A and B are shown apart, each in its own frame.
Chain A
């Protein structure tokens, strides 16, 4: 079973700053099946990135994904007020899905 870990647990930043979120897999995985989601309280989660680096429909280009093997990164180039939320990486493998524990991006 592949385990995803995310770091940091919480990232305290100011609007306009750059956010770099990490997702690490316990073993090498296919980047084709690595996704990132944004989740705000009381809302449905929103798909941001699929295939490790492809932006989903309607996602602003300040969001970008990269990585391969066991190390993946979500970068928000300049934080907007609406970007403060929890971010999850997620992986498909062997017919099952798994989420990382999440990184909370909050306002400094």
Chain B
């Protein structure tokens, strides 16, 4: 059974850093495309970042230069390193698997809440 479990969220001051983790089971992260999506309070879903099986990474303009996606194949886990955090980064962050040739997000975690506030 495929499962994704996010962790690492919390309250952080503006300008601070946080690392989110997404532990996967039921499939191999290194053979898949993995992505992060966020939802700010009262807002819609916003795509954040993707890491392809070959290791290439891409980011939304809103986080480029501040966020870094990576993975640890030995732990079957994907990470999102978030630096220079701002109030508008406050959101629930979801990890998802990008499925096959459709490139749709077929499995999602329940999310982890990040609050950026002084």
- Chain A interface (Cβ within 8 Å of chain B)? 32-33, 35, 37, 39, 43-47, 50-51, 54, 56, 86, 88, 90, 92, 95-102
Instruction: Give me 9 other A-B pairs in contact (C-beta within 8 A), A96-B47, A96-B60, A99-B47 excluded.
Output: A35-B105, A39-B45, A45-B37, A45-B45, A50-B104, A90-B45, A90-B105, A96-B58, A100-B44
Considering the complex, which residues of chain B in the window 98-118 have a beta carbon less than 8 Å from any beta carbon of chain A?
99, 101-106, 108-111
Question: For residue B47, which residues in chain A have a CB less than 8 angstroms away from its CB?
Answer: 90, 96-99
CB distance from A3 to the nearest CB of B (A): 13
B50 touches A32 (CB 8 A): no
Q: Which residue of A lies closest to B100 (CB)?
A: A50
Question: For residue B37, which residues in chain A have a CB less than 8 angstroms away from its CB?
Answer: 45, 99
Considering the complex, which residues of chain B in the window 24-44 have a beta carbon less than 8 Å from any beta carbon of chain A?
35, 37, 44
Per the bound structure, the CA–CA distance linking A96 and B50 in Å amounts to: 8
B94 interface contact, C-beta 8 A:
yes
- The one of B56, B60, B110 in contact with A44, judged by C-beta atoms closer than 8 angstroms, is B110
A88 touches B104 (CB 8 A): no
B108 touches A56 (CB 8 A): no
CB distance from B8 to the nearest CB of A (A): 17
Given contacts A95-B58, A96-B60, contact A88 B108 (CB under 8 A): no
A44 touches B102 (CB 8 A): no
Per the bound structure, the CA–CA distance linking A12 and B98 in Å amounts to: 32
Question: For residue B50, which residues in chain A have a CB less than 8 angstroms away from its CB?
Answer: 95-97
B94 touches A45 (CB 8 A): yes
Per the bound structure, the CA–CA distance linking A35 and B46 in Å amounts to: 14
